[in-house]
Every structure is written in structure tokens, then in C-alpha cells.
Amino acid sequence: MQFRKSLSTPESKRIFQCYATHGKGYGHDPSISGTDIRILLVNAARAVLWADARFDGRNYHCEAARLDAQWKRLGWVMVDGSLPLGELDAVNPDLAQFDYLAAADTSNLPLPASAYCHPPGCKCGCGRK
């Protein structure tokens, strides 16, 4: 993945406003477990789709993407319109680094040990043993 690559350019014909997976959303998930969000999905042909989803503190649950695994998560927004990470990113799906985007629905994917934010033996219920 190339870091600091532009998410859009002044010449971009299609711009979507969201917390981009490779922008402000990188390493920042919706902070509240049980949060209703809208995910901006993109496929290899660069078609886009907004879909309802829920973030449970660890995984994204997106029924539309679960039914069709070709979709990846380009970004997300809060359903309530709040801006927990400040201004949204302007994203052109044609510039997305598709091969490096996360699956849109991660509810059935096991997390690697490095993905947990708490130390081994944590008692918070995150699953880290």
C-alpha cells in the first residue's frame, strides 16, 4: 500500500464524503460498540454502494456485503451525522488502492493477535487470551 496517496484530485469526477479507510478512518473505527454506520462499498470495477452496517467494537456487520463478497470498505460515516474524527475525507473510488482495502463485512473473519488493542489476559471481553 502506498501511504500519503491522494484520495481525490481537483480533476476527480466522482467524490464521496466519508472517513476513508486509507484516510482519516485508517486505524480509527467508530469508537462506540453497537454504533450504526453507513459504509461506502467499492468493488474491483469501482462501482460504489452505500450500505447500512453496525460496528460492534471489533467487527463490521454489513448484510449487503455478506451476501456479495466482491465489496470492500472504502469508508464510513455515522448514521446520526456526527463527526467523531472531524471533517470527512473527499474520496474518489477510482483512486482507491482496492487490493489493500478491508472486507466490508468482517463479522466472520478471525482477527490476528496483533489486531487486539489490549494486553493478553484482558478481562474486557475482547477475546484476547
Residues, the chain, total? Answer: 129
Least confident residue range of 25-34, 39-48, 89-98: 25-34
| Beta-carbon count within 10 A of 104 CB | 28
Q: What is the pLDDT of residues 80-114, one digit of tens each?
A: 999 999 999 999 999 999 998 888 877 765 544 44
Can you give the residue ranges of every domain in the chain? 16-115
pLDDT of residue 94: 94
Q: Does pTM surpass 0.85?
A: no
- Produce one character per residue of 29-68: b if its CB has 16 or more CB atoms within 10 Å, e if not: bbeeeebebbbbbbbeeeebeebebbbeebbbbbebbbee
pLDDT of residue 27: 79
Bigger pLDDT: 112 vs 123: 123
Per-residue pLDDT for 45 more than 80? yes
